[in-house]
Amino acid sequence: MRARSDETSITLAELAPGQQGEIVGIDTDDGKLKRRMASLGVVPGAAITLDRTAPLGDPRMYTLMNANLGFRNTEAQIIQIRLKV
């Protein structure tokens, strides 16, 4: 189950502080992880920003639908986003 990813999409791990991205899809075969993320609001179209990074560079905290979510960079790498201008 691959989510669509075209040339313009990057992964959430590449999002810089202060930039806003729009979620395109979750690129994983792990259905449970996917459903878990979806229930937290990680669905196509949702806007996401990078809030801060933990002292040792991982995990990072993001803002999504008015909530703070922590993801490890390995998880952020499976979330496809498109940069919002």
Partner 1 sequence: MTSPITVALVGNPNVGVTSLFNALTGSNNPVANYPRVTTSISSREITHDGRVMRVVDVPGIFSVNSQSPDEKIGQDYFNDQHPDIIVNVLDAGHLDRHLFLSTQLIETGIKRITVLNMIDEARRNGIVIDTKLMADALGSPVIATNGLTKEGVDDLKAAIAQLASSQEEPLARLRYDQHLEDAIARVQDHLDRLHPQKMTASRSRWLAIKLLEGDDDIIRQESDHPEFVSEISQERSNLEHTHDQDAATMLASARFAFAHGLLLEARQQEENAQDRFKLTRTLDNFFLNRTLGLPLLLAIMWIMFETTFSLGAIPTEWIKAAVDWSTKFVDGLLPEGMFHDMVVNGVMAGVGGTIVFLPNIVILFFFMAILSGTGYLSRASFLMDRIMHRFGLHGTTLIPMVAGFGCNVPAVMATNIISNKRARLIAILISPFMSCSARLPTFILFSGAFFSRFAGTVVFAMYMASIAAAMISAILLNRIIPGSGSDAFVMELPPYRIPTLHSVLHHMWDSAQGFVAKVTGVILAGSIVIWFLQEFPRDVAYSQDYNAAISTAAEQPESDARTETLRSLSAAQAQEKLEKSYLGRASIAVTPMVKPLGFSWHESSAIMTGFVAKEVVVATYAVIYAQEKGSSALTEAIAKAMPASTALAFMIFTLLYAPCMSTLTIIARETGSWKWAGVSLAYSLSFAWMLAFLFNKIGTMLL
Q: Which residues bind partner 1 (CB under 8 A)?
A: 1, 3-4, 25-26, 31-41, 43-46, 51-59, 61, 65-72, 74-75
Q: Whose Cβ is closer to partner 1: residue 33's or residue 83's?
A: 33
**Secondary structure string (H, E, C) spanning 2-27:** CCCCCCCEEEHHHCCCCCEEEEEEEC
DSSP state of 78: T
Other Cβ atoms within 10 Å of 81 Cβ, number: 26
Q: How far is the CB of 65 from partner 1 (least distance, A)?
A: 4
Q: How far is the CB of 3 from partner 1 (least distance, A)?
A: 7
